[in-house]
């Protein structure tokens, strides 16, 4: 995917470049909207710019992939960034650099999506852009906008629901409850699935790769996860079943096939973030001993793998005096091409299992993954069995913290690790710099 630099106004605050930035910030400024889409080529460039935003460290490269791990018992801080140390101790402040930067970049992505939607959902036509391709790009922008709101709400609870590029509105926007955000995401994902279902590989003029761009199945996967988090477990299971039954995806024969240098190209991947030697990521550099070793594997996760679990892509860091393990799931430290999965079929099996607990089908879904991992099956699976499988199957992909919070297990798990952990630590603060720009973001989350 070609990186497209798009200059836009961050909607909720001024850009503050942190000394802890993992990558160089893209410049942010004001543009006139008619510079973004004028024809088919610029429409394609605009949506590629959205995917480029997802590649940033402050979104799926680090913040939505590793931050949920270090907030939980999945990862511990082993490096030198104070902002990550604070997350590990569950005592981030409203000025935490990592939190602030993720908020800013996510709302920048949302702004980009809103700009595309406002232009393409109107009556205007664009040279060379067919109605079918225009509908697909609308669906892509809708999917990413919903995904971005969802990921941010998982960490902060109530967040602004931004569906416009009107700067007067955005400068005074209030926060929307997490329940309403989840309902928005569920509705938008369903609509995006309909719009994206019109994609036809033989007819589209788009440069489309169905693993790295939004599809109807990616939108349905988002709907399944959002329904699960919202407590609509039956609806989540129905969507997951539809994907498993009709999506044409297959579990990888070997767990390790899903990871390694180069973009992930496996039939298990429903949607992932693309990286190449041109569009490099920093994730392996953050994890490996030859890099920063900023994050280590949590002792609880090391124990959860047990013996002979093929999913234990971890290794003892022999140079570490504390004897900690490092993540060996993302390994391309030289060219940064490790693909990062956002939705894959294994998660859909686990969602369906959670929806069908108490039935033989739940055991079957779990045991498909355990058999692949070289482990014996389970019988009479409980919610704890599902959560344990999610812990080891989806490790280092951004799930653990959200699973603990949504099932109300965060306090019991985290207080055993950190005696100072309180229920106020279940969500992160709203960045103070944004509150100063827009007091309507108050009240701040409890505990901050």
* DSSP conformation letters of 228-265: HHHT-HHHHHHHHHHHHHHS-----SSGGGG-SSS---
- Confirm whether 21 is domain-assigned: no
How far is the C-alpha of 97 from the C-alpha of 141, rounded, in Å? 27
- Confirm whether 134 is domain-assigned: yes
Using alpha carbons, list the distances in angstroms from residue 444 to 157, 266, 428, 432. 11, 43, 10, 9
Placement of tokens 């949590």 in the chain: 298
Each residue's pLDDT, cut to its tens digit, for the chain (448 residues) gives 333 333 333 333 333 333 333 233 333 323 334 447 999 999 999 999 999 999 999 999 999 999 999 999 999 999 999 999 999 999 999 999 999 999 999 999 999 999 999 999 988 899 999 999 999 999 999 999 999 999 999 999 999 999 999 999 999 999 999 999 999 999 999 999 999 997 665 555 565 567 889 999 999 999 999 999 999 999 999 999 999 999 999 999 999 999 988 777 789 999 999 998 898 999 999 999 999 999 999 999 999 998 899 999 999 999 999 999 999 999 999 999 999 999 999 999 999 999 999 999 999 999 999 999 999 999 999 999 999 999 999 999 999 999 999 999 999 999 999 999 999 999 999 999 999 999 999 999 999 9
- Confirm whether 8 is domain-assigned: no
- Report phi then psi at 341, rounded to 5: -75, 140
Q: How many CB atoms lie within 10 A of CB 29?
A: 9
Rounded to a whole number of angstroms, the CA Rg of the chain reads 21
- Confirm whether 7 is domain-assigned: no
Whole-model pTM: value is 0.91
- Confirm whether 187 is domain-assigned: yes
- Confirm whether 17 is domain-assigned: no
Mapped onto helix, strand or coil, the DSSP state of residue 32 is coil
Domain range for 147 is 33-441
- Confirm whether 11 is domain-assigned: no
Our count of domains for the chain comes to 1
Q: Domain containing 239 — which CATH number?
A: 1.25.40.390
- Confirm whether 25 is domain-assigned: no
CA atoms within 13 A on the CB side of 398: 20
């Amino acid at each position: 995917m070609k990186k497209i630099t798009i200059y836009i106004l961050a909607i909720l605050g001024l850009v503050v470049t942190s000394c802890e930035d993992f990558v160089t910030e893209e410049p942010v400024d004001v543009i006139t909207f008619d510079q973004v889409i004028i024809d088919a080529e610029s429409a394609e460039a605009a949506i590629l710019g959205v995917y480029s935003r997802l590649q940033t460290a402050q979104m799926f490269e680090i913040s939505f992939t590793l931050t949920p791990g270090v907030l939980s018992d999945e990862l511990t801080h082993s490096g030198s960034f104070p902002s990550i140390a604070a997350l590990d101790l569950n005592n981030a402040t409203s000025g935490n650099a990592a939190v602030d930067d993720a908020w800013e970049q996510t709302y920048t992505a949302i702004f980009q999506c809103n700009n595309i939607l406002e232009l393409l959902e109107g009556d205007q036509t664009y040279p060379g852009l067919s109605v079918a391709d225009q509908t697909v790009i609308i669906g892509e922008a809708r999917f990413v906008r919903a995904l971005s709101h969802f990921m941010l709400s998982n960490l902060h609870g109530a967040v602004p629901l931004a569906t416009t590029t009107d700067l007067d509105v955005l400068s005074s926007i209030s926060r929307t409850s997490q329940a309403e955000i989840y309902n928005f995401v569920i509705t938008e994902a369903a609509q995006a699935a309909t719009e994206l279902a019109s994609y036809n590989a033989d007819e589209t003029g788009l440069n489309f790769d169905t693993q790295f761009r939004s599809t109807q199945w990616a939108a349905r996967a988002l709907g399944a996860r959002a329904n699960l988090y919202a407590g609509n477990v039956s609806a989540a299971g129905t969507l997951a079943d539809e994907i498993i039954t009709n999506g044409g995806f297959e579990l990888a024969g070997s767990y390790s096939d899903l990871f390694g240098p180069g973009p992930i190209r496996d039939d298990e991947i429903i949607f992932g973030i693309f990286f190449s030697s041109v569009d490099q990521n920093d994730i392996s550099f953050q994890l490996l001993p030859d890099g920063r070793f900023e994050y280590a594997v949590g002792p609880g996760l090391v124990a959860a793998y047990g013996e002979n679990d093929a999913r234990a892509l971890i290794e003892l860091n022999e140079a570490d005096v504390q004897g900690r393990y490092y993540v060996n799931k993302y390994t391309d430290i030289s060219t940064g091409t490790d693909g990062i999965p956002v939705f894959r079929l294994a998660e859909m099996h686990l969602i369906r299992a959670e929806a069908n607990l108490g039935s033989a089908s739940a055991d079957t879904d779990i045991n498909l993954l355990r058999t692949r991992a070289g482990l014996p099956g389970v019988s009479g699976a409980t919610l704890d069995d599902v959560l344990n499988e999610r812990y080891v199957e989806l490790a280092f992909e951004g799930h653990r913290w959200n699973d603990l919070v949504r099932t109300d297990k965060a306090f019991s798990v985290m207080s055993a690790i950190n005696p100072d952990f309180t229920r106020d630590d279940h969500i992160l603060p709203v960045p103070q710099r944004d509150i100063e720009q827009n007091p309507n973001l108050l009240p701040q989350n409890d505990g901050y």
